[in-house]
């Protein structure tokens, strides 16, 4: 295959003023400043002397003289038969770092409070490396099989997924039809394809719901603890809304407590089939109480059903939506059962909300990318999704059992114990109160272990210390090695705490 020539752009050359004379000196200064300011970086190629002379309408000797001076200063370096480049030795020079720090600090001082808050959120949501015990890492047996690749080749490159114009903001029709049939069979959800909007994951759906459902001073119920993606949206993306944190116990959201705290709340955000992060399902009596409240108050229930297909004993719990389709907004995703980089989820809405939901969606990203929607539609239609779920359910069940055994072997119960639960892609390792889970999580990442602290999912008043461990398809040796390191970090934290 023929190599493509690299096109070298030097916008700073436009400063050159030939009428002022001393063209060589000007050119030297311009190139030197471009390197110092980071416009040209270490290793960047420069145009050949002939090319640059031609573009500037100056003699080639002028360019060669300027290059020679910068070569002598160590700003540039020449490679025979390759060309002239910015010197590699200039990577992160003190001057460049100083300039970078000045620019960074200047911009920080000019940021609004909202911008600074979003910058902190970015740090919090930085993805963990693909190591034990990261969540939703499709490795080994949990990866989609060759059918996904074949479908991609067939439908993305040659079939319905061919490049086209703008598409429907609601999503590809065939995928909505496939999802409607799938959730009816697997989740007891009652809907028509016209009620489904394809999203870029549950996070986008949560954001859009937060923008179209509420007005200033509205109250909303939020589980305590809760998915940090939801609480971050409610805290930062809506002005003057009141968040009512409602404790969760072994039956799920404490509905009576919520009614006592805020009987006229506008909505409730819940994870009834598999509470995040603690793992229990909402009991039938609590479900009926929640639905009765929503019906009486004409309130919305936003049901985040992120991984309920993965139950290891018995059948998955039915969705709340099937009991009250007119009051429940049902959110699903393929990030957990397939892979997160697919970036496809869906919202099932009461019909009256479809237009406002899609209207805001148009302003955000016009419509979801279409090609993979066609692939996924065929994958679901032909039964491969449900086969894949059956396969990964077995994998995660095995890993769950292995993890329970390994942790019992290496971590003393008074320092850490696993929350009981029989579904999902993660488990919670509760830590002793005096152990800082944030510090353990950071230390673990430094030791090539990927865990998340649970304390940020709680309100400040109810914080508990613990770690969220994903059940990826990591082998037994990897899992045991990681648990041994975690056990050592926990023991060190315990000793340190006792000495304070």
- The CA distance from 408 to 411, in Å, is 6
pLDDT(138) > 90: no
> Is the Cβ–Cβ distance between 350 and 195 less than 8 Å?
yes
Task: Give the model's confidence band at 5: pLDDT under 50 very low, under 70 low, under 90 confident, else very high.
Answer: very low
Give the count of beta carbons closer than 10 Å to the beta carbon of residue 449. 25
- The CA distance from 185 to 316, in Å, is 11
Region 175-188 average pLDDT? 96
Residue range 389-498 in CATH 3.40.50.2000: no
Longest dimension (CA), the chain: 87
CB-count exposure of residue 431 (10 Å: 0-12, 13-18, 19+): buried
CATH of 23-90, one of 1.10.10.10, 3.40.50.150, 3.30.420.10, 3.50.50.60: 1.10.10.10
pLDDT value for 441: 97
Give the count of beta carbons closer than 10 Å to the beta carbon of residue 130. 13
Instruction: Return phi, psi of residue 108, to 5°.
Output: -60, -40
Radius of gyration in angstroms for the set of CA atoms belonging to the chain, rounded to a whole number: 28
The listed range with the strongest mean pLDDT (126-135, 303-312, 433-442) is 433-442
> Is the Cβ–Cβ distance between 386 and 186 less than 8 Å?
yes
- The CA distance from 275 to 130, in Å, is 24
pLDDT value for 331: 98
* Residue with the larger pLDDT of the pair 56 and 214: 214
pLDDT(182) > 50: yes
Domain ranges of the chain: 23-90, 142-387, 389-498
Which neighbouring-strand residues pair with 333?
A: 345
Q: Which fold is adopted by the domain 142-387?
A: 3.40.640
Least confident interval from 19-28, 158-167, 215-224, 350-359: 158-167
- The CA distance from 384 to 144, in Å, is 9
Using a pLDDT cut of 70, give the percent of the chain over it: 94
pLDDT value for 106: 55
Closest CA to 294 of 275, 316, 321: 321
pLDDT value for 93: 55
Both tokens assigned to 164: 């086209």
- The CA distance from 300 to 231, in Å, is 17
- The CA distance from 13 to 9, in Å, is 9
Task: Give the model's confidence band at 457: pLDDT under 50 very low, under 70 low, under 90 confident, else very high.
Answer: very high
Contacts 24+ apart (CB under 8 A), 112-121: 114/236, 117/236, 118/236, 121/232, 121/236
- Dump pLDDT digits (tens) for 69-119: 999 999 999 999 889 999 988 775 555 555 555 555 555 668 898 899 999
pLDDT value for 1: 41
- The CA distance from 414 to 409, in Å, is 13
Degrees, nearest 5: CA angle 235-237-240: 65
Task: Give the model's confidence band at 153: pLDDT under 50 very low, under 70 low, under 90 confident, else very high.
Answer: confident
Task: Give the model's confidence band at 374: pLDDT under 50 very low, under 70 low, under 90 confident, else very high.
Answer: very high
In order of 178, 242, 309, 344, 427, the CA distances from 337 in angstroms are 16, 34, 8, 11, 16
- Dump pLDDT digits (tens) for 244-299: 999 999 999 999 999 999 999 999 999 999 999 999 999 999 999 999 999 999 99
Least confident interval from 10-14, 235-239, 250-254, 494-498: 10-14
Least confident interval from 37-46, 86-95, 207-216: 86-95
pLDDT(8) > 90: no
- The CA distance from 16 to 24, in Å, is 10
Provide the CA 443 distance to its chain's centre, in angstroms: 21
Using a pLDDT cut of 90, give the percent of the chain over it: 72
* Residue with the larger pLDDT of the pair 343 and 498: 343
Least confident interval from 46-55, 96-105, 237-246, 488-497: 96-105
Provide the CA 446 distance to its chain's centre, in angstroms: 21
* Residue with the larger pLDDT of the pair 157 and 453: 453
One fold for 23-90 and 389-498: no
Instruction: Return phi, psi of residue 320, to 5°.
Output: -65, -30
Strand order in the sheet with 267-270: 196-199, 345-348, 328-333, 300-304, 267-270, 219-224, 242-249, 252-253
Task: Kindly report the average pLDDT of the chain as a whole number.
Answer: 91
For 321, residues 6+ apart whose C-beta sits below 8 A from its C-beta are 187, 189, 190, 191, 303, 328, 330, 348
């Amino acid at each position: 295959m023929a190599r493509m020539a690299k096109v070298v752009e030097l916008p700073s050359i436009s400063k050159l003023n030939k009428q002022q004379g001393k063209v060589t000196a000007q050119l030297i200064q311009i190139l030197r400043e471009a390197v110092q300011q980071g416009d040209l970086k270490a290793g960047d190629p420069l145009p050949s002397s002939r090319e640059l002379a031609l573009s500037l309408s100056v003699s080639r000797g002028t360019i060669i003289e300027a290059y020679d001076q910068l070569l002598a200063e160590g700003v540039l370096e020449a490679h025979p038969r390759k060309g002239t480049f910015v010197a590699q030795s200039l990577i992160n020079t003190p001057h460049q770092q100083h300039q970078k720090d000045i620019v960074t600090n200047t911009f920080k001082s000019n940021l609004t409070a909202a911008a600074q808050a979003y910058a902190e959120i970015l740090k919090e949501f930085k993805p963990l490396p693909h190591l034990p015990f990261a969540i939703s890492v499709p490795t080994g047996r949990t990866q989609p099989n060759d059918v996904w690749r074949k479908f991609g080749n067939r439908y993305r490159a040659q079939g319905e997924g061919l490049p086209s114009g703008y598409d429907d903001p609601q999503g590809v029709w065939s995928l909505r039809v496939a999802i409607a049939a799938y959730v009816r069979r697997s989740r007891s959800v009652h809907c028509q394809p016209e009620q489904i909007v394809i999203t870029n994951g549950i996070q986008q759906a949560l954001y859009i719901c937060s923008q179209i459902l509420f007005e200033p001073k509205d109250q909303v119920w939020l589980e305590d603890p809760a998915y940090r993606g939801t609480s971050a949206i409610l805290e930062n993306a809506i002005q003057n809304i009141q968040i009512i944190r409602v404790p969760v116990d072994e039956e799920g959201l404490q509905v009576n407590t919520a009614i006592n705290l805020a009987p006229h709340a506008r909505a409730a955000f819940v994870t009834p089939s598999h509470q995040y992060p603690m793992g229990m399902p909402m009991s039938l009596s609590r479900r009926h109480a929640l639905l009765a409240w929503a019906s009486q108050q004409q309130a919305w229930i936003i049901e985040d059903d992120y991984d309920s297909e993965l139950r290891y004993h018995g059948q998955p719990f039915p969705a709340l939506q099937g009991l009250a389709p007119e009051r429940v907004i049902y959110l699903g995703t393929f990030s957990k059962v397939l892979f997160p980089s697919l970036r496809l989820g869906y919202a099932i809405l009461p019909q009256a909300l479809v237009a406002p939901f899609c209207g805001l969606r148009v302003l955000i990203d016009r419509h979801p990318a279409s090609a993979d929607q066609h692939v996924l539609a065929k994958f679901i239609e032909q039964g491969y999704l449900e086969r894949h779920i059956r396969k990964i359910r077995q994998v995660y069940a095995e890993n769950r059992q292995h993890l329970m055994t390994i942790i019992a072997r290496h971590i003393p119960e008074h320092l850490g114990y696993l929350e009981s639960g029989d579904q999902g892609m993660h488990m919670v390792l509760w830590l002793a109160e005096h152990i800082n889970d944030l510090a353990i999580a950071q230390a673990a990442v430094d030791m090539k272990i990927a865990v998340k602290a649970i304390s940020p999912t709680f309100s400040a008043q109810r914080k508990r210390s613990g770690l969220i461990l994903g059940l990826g398809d990591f082998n037994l040796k990897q899992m045991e090695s990681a648990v041994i390191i975690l056990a050592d970090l926990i023991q060190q934290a315990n000793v340190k705490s006792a000495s304070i």
